[in-house]
Chains A and B, each alone.
Chain A
Amino acid sequence: MSVTVPNSELGVSQALDLLRAANTRLVSIFGSADDNRELYVHYLIDVDGREYRMFRSRVTGPIPSATPITPSAAWYERELHDQYGIECARPS
């Protein structure tokens, strides 16, 4: 398994784009906070059952929800809100 971590502001939209593909599976979404209380969201995505890709993005406001794309995101996003106060909104 290889893991790539593009530390990008575009991480969320890149992750959501990848999740729309038929050969991908959401493995996990989780949050983190650095020493300056900056928040980050991480997406771990399985591609073809062979490769894990990770996307990390800084969170400065509500982020688009992955749940309409893959219902398995719902619990991870609810946990993001419980633990970190990160809001996930239905994409416009």
Chain B
Amino acid sequence: MTSTASSALGHPDPRPLLFHENWPGNVHPMIDDASHVPWAEGQYQFLQVQGAGVCEVPVGPIHAGIIEPGHFRFSVVGDTVLHLELRHFYTHKGTEKLFENTPVMDGVMIAESVSGDNCFSHAVAYCQAIESAFGISVPPRAQALRLIGLELERMIAHIADVGALCGDVGFSVPAAYTARIKETLLRASTRFFGTRFWRGMAVPGGVTRDFSSAEASEFARIVTAAAREFGEMARLILHTSSVQSRFESTGILTAEVTRQLGSWGRWRAPAESDLTFAAIILAGATATSTWMSRCTSMEMCSHARESESTRRPSQCA
């Protein structure tokens, strides 16, 4: 284990997290000057699981995709993962430090650069913090547009994750289909707002762009079609026996581990009143109200159920 002061105090895992061996252990950037940090040497100690049949599988840090670098070291016996060591932050940019002395109106650009998948939600969270601190109210129409962007980002995350699940069990065709559905939504955002990930949209006090009722209806049509297509894809995936056997028998997260990881909680869909509010503000059109409610993942699931009740499983083999 890397020697740090905290190891003497008995922390269960005193190894550095953000910084790698080239970073000196006595430089703490949020309280120290981090403009000229000397290069250090060291050796990271992975926890090694030993025993008959234990196989160590290293993955990354370079991946076949556009995700950021991360090293995963699995210690496995067959399908059972006995231990997983994660090393991330290869491209840690010192984002926290960048916020220091940045004018509040410029900080939103840093916030939305933290993560591409969560670009808009991070930007809105930053704006809400500024608005709360300065007592700024946001116009209803801007609130409605933010809600659409947040729901769209969440929907895209669900679609991409379902595709990733398929990729992980070797079901590559649906993985490609979900990538295509996701792409249609990103292109729709480009068409109406000039940005795939709603970059530059959120700003303290509101949003920077708006769209007309006609554009809202067309956007609604595209999103509704994507949600329906995804629902049918989800049904096909869940009815494929090879996928079922992997999804149902491997990677089981027990209640105890869930509790330890804190990976539980209550998910709250936007209330119908939130969506109706957004729809009324945007266009007052029934179509808008419909597509807004269809943006939710619950609605995507109901598409899958609808399809299930009208088709026989043999049709999706």
Contact = CB atoms under 8 A, between A and B. Distances in A.
A78 interface: yes
Contact of B4 (A37, A79, A81): A81
B28 A78 contact: no
Given A25-B262, A33-B30, A88-B11, A82 B5 contact: no
A68 B13 CA distance: 11
A83 B18 CA distance: 8
Interface band, chain B:
20 to 34
B32 to A, nearest CB: 8
SS class of chain B's interface: helix, strand, loop or mixed? loop
A71 B261 contact: yes
Given A70-B262, A72-B263, A82-B17, 10 more contacts: A25-B262, A25-B264, A33-B30, A62-B6, A67-B11, A68-B12, A78-B11, A78-B18, A81-B16, A82-B16
Top 9 A-B pairs, shortest CB-CB distance = A49-B266, A89-B9, A78-B17, A90-B10, A85-B28, A72-B262, A83-B30, A82-B18, A71-B260
22 contacts: A49-B264, A50-B266, A68-B12, A71-B261, A72-B261, A72-B262, A77-B11, A78-B16, A78-B17, A82-B16, A82-B18, A84-B28, A84-B30, A85-B31, A87-B5, A87-B6, A88-B6, A88-B11, A89-B6, A89-B11, A90-B11, A90-B12
